[in-house]
Amino acid sequence: MKSIFISPYRFYLVFFAVSITFCSLGGRLVYLQVFRSNDFSEFADGARKNVFKIKARRGDIVDRKGNLLATTRSVVNVGLDPHSVIAEDLSKVGTLAELLKIEPRVIYEAVEKKVRVTNEPNKSVSKVRWVKLKEEVDEDTYQKIKSLNFKGIYGNYKHSRLYPGNSLASHILGYVNKEGVATMGAERFADYYLKGQDGWKESEKDGRRREMPQYRTVEVLPRDGLNVELTIDWMIQNMVEKELVRIVEDYNPISASVIVSEVATGSILALANAPDFDPNYFNKSELETQRNRALSDVYEPGSTFKIVAVAGCMNEGLVDEKDIIDCSVGVMQKGSKRYRLPGDHNPLGKISVSKVVQKSSNRGAAQLGIMLGSKRLYEYCRSFGFGQKTGFGIGGERRGTLHHPKNWDGLTITRLPMGHAVSTTPMQVHAAMSVIANDGILMKPKFINRIFDRNGKTVTPFYPTPVRKVMGHGVAKTLTNMLVSVVSNEGTARKARIEGFDVAGKTGTTQKIIDGKYSRNHHVGSFVGFFPAEKPKIVITVVVDEAKMKNGLLGYGGTVAAPAFQNIAKQIIGYLGIEPKKEGRKIAVNFKQESSAY
């Protein structure tokens, strides 16, 4: 046999080439299996394992009697896989479109969307496996869709927020947006309790990415959210919103707000603004309509603010209700200072302090403010809650404007007592009047009664919270009697009277500042009052911004706000069964009959 000659150079070249190749492969294997083993193990687990998030059900919101204001329902987002649709099922498109309440062309267009091309520098093409057809389809409709056996059509379950009352109490409730984020109102304030805790499960999936339950390793069940009971009363809230509709129809104002609360607890029974919005369709409403004007809009309160100077002087023992104030003078001397007093609408002459309140005298209020002095006047304003937030807690609340005496000019001491040189929110004015109704004690406004679980057990109660004592009990009673005279034939709030009941209250009409000056044509009319005066139960505040009156008349508080107070109060009397004075018992029964439809 003839041997084959192999040169040493060629032999070693082949030997080293083979050796280097195997060493490189071996080194690569060592690198992958030793140094990168954790990374590739995680990649393999990710391709094989699947983690599903199980969303917790958000808790319900109810009114104080258990009526549902907000709840969570299970809905389905329906879509299709264009690659799974077969030609035989296209005959069912019409029926499917009818169930989904969409045009058939939407389904045909979705079937054609089989690929997706990215617009990156290196264009890539990928298959489309999901095209959304309709969001938030109810479960009954989805079951009908499944019965069509339309291949490629499937749905993803999700939770959706529902507000059964539509726009009812929208500014109190707020809403949850499409991303599941609570954005305002009680939804946001109580989000910690309502949202619950999501669960999850971990299992393996097959080559078609379907779960294999037999390999499920971890499963943590969700904990559904707790429920919230508000202080709001559905019936009273409905009464208020119907009255706001009437105000808008009659006067076409820029806006209007109404607040109703219990005297003893500070519980808000109704709060509404016009314009409002439907939280079920929050994305279709203007952001301006979503603003809670009762907390966020500020205005000069006008004559409703006069209770501060009167209460302060009486509480300090400087005057009583029978003392005489000379409202005919235009200047008041105190010490070395002379103060120029504001004018009244009509000459009043020398009148008692009680008449100052009844006739809403600007000069009388200014003189009481001067008697009190800048420091004490400012302290009483703060004590009533002005210049600071009420602590309502719902968000969007403003503190208004109340300047410190060191920043006052020469006119402030005479203008502040009549409700000028200060800005307030409707809620602040409401809380201040509640002080008089509640024997001189300021209460923190409350809109949540309790947090409770699915069994109705209270988890977290919310108790009434007194803030401070503003005036003595006797002063509050005396001032109440003075405010009753305002709602009389001789007072400025005749249209707020309720036959059979003593109503205490105060009107307010303030000129708005337009282009740096007080305007004669732009007014905010308001009325705030409580009843029954002898044993107060309910406080109501009505604020109407720029009512458009016929024949060029002005939108005084006694004209636009007082009648709204009366309409709401009559219905509440019948609904709650509030007893009148003995001589008015028969009238109250009639009110109750008239309100039976509410």
Domain final position from 19, 36, 51: 51
**Would you say residue 49 has pLDDT above 80?**
no
586 pLDDT higher than 60: no
| Percent of the chain topping pLDDT 90 | 58
Same domain, 114 and 155: yes
Reduced to 3 states (helix: H, G, I; strand: E, B; else coil), residue 544 is: strand
The pLDDT of 187-204, averaged and rounded, is: 86
Specify whether 73 is located in the same domain as 89: yes
The answer to which of 8-12, 134-138, 172-176, 278-282 has the lowest mean pLDDT is 8-12
Domain co-membership, 427 together with 391: yes
Tell me if 317 is assigned to some domain: yes
Q: Is the pLDDT of residue 14 over 70?
A: yes
Cα angle at 367 between 363 and 371, to 5 degrees?
Answer: 170
What is the pLDDT at residue 115? 72
In a domain, 257, yes or no: yes
User: What are the start-end ranges of the H helices in 204-297?
Assistant: 234-251, 293-296
CATH value at residue 214: 3.90.1310.10
Q: Which of 41-50, 100-109, 192-201, 299-308 shows the lowest mean pLDDT across its residues?
A: 41-50
pTM of the model: 0.82
Residues 334 and 467 in one domain: yes
Same domain, 416 and 343: yes
| Average pLDDT of span 208-227 | 70
| 83 assigned to some structural domain | yes
Contact of 444 with 391, CB cutoff 8 Å: yes
In this predicted structure, what is the pLDDT of residue 214? Answer: 52
What local confidence, expressed as pLDDT, does residue 326 receive?
A: 94
* Mean pLDDT computed over 139-164: 84
Residue 455 belongs to some domain of the structure: yes
Q: What is the pLDDT of residue 323?
A: 94
- Residues 373, 432, single domain; the answer is yes
Quote the radius of gyration of the chain (alpha carbons, Å).
36
* 201 located within any domain: yes
**What does the pLDDT read at residue 5?**
61
Residue 474 confidence (pLDDT): 95
Per-residue pLDDT band for 598 (boundaries 50, 70, 90) equals very low
Whole-number percent of the chain with pLDDT over 70:
89
Asked whether the predicted pLDDT for residue 276 surpasses 80, the reply is yes
Q: What are the structure tokens assigned to 301, written together?
A: 């309160």
CATH code of residue 561:
3.40.710.10
- The pLDDT assigned to 597 comes to 31
- pLDDT tens across 353-396, in order? 999 999 999 999 999 999 999 999 999 999 999 999 999 988 88
CA distance to 314, 469, 476, per residue, from 473 (Å): 12, 9, 5
Least trusted range by pLDDT, from 1-15, 55-69, 340-354, 360-374: 1-15
Indicate the average pLDDT of the chain. Answer: 87
Give pLDDT, residue 48: 60
Q: What's the pLDDT score for residue 210?
A: 54
Query: Which residue would you say has higher pLDDT here, 439 or 333?
Result: 439
Domain carrying residue 563: 234-278+292-597
CA distance to 158, 161, 172, 224, 433, per residue, from 73 (Å): 9, 6, 21, 13, 41
Check residue 492 and report its DSSP letter. Answer: S
Is residue 415 pLDDT above 90, yes or no?
A: yes
Whether the pLDDT of residue 582 is over 90: the answer is no
Q: Is the pLDDT of residue 153 over 90?
A: no
The pLDDT assigned to 583 comes to 61
CB 508 within 8 A of CB 596: no
- Asked, as a colleague might, if the bond just before 275 is cis with ω within 30 of 0, I would say yes
136 and 252 inside one domain: no
pLDDT, mean of residues 129-134? 83
Distance CA 543, CA 305 (A): 13
Asked whether residue 583 is domain-assigned, the answer is yes
pLDDT at 593: 35
**What is the average pLDDT across 136-160?**
83
Residues 500, 519 within the same domain: yes
Alpha-carbon gap, residue 586 to 100, rounded angstroms: 56
Q: Of 94 and 538, which is predicted with more confidence?
A: 538
Residues 311 and 385 in one domain: yes
pLDDT at 584 (0 to 100)? 42
Give the pairing type, strands 227-230 and 61-62: parallel
Query: pLDDT digits over 462-482, tens only?
Result: 999 999 999 999 999 999 999
- Is the residue at 283 inside a domain? no
On the 0-12 / 13-18 / 19+ scale of CB atoms within 10 A, 377 is buried
Same domain, 90 and 31: no
Assess if residue 1 is contained within a domain: no
Start-to-end CA span in the chain (Å): 119
Count: domains in the chain: 3
C-alpha 497, offset from chain centre: 31
Query: Per residue in 537-581, pLDDT tens?
Result: 999 999 999 998 887 677 889 999 999 999 999 999 999 999 988
Residues 32 and 130 in one domain: no
More confident residue, 490 or 295: 295
Angle at alpha carbon of residue 246, lines to 241 and 250, rounded to 5°: 150
Residues 217, 240 within the same domain: no
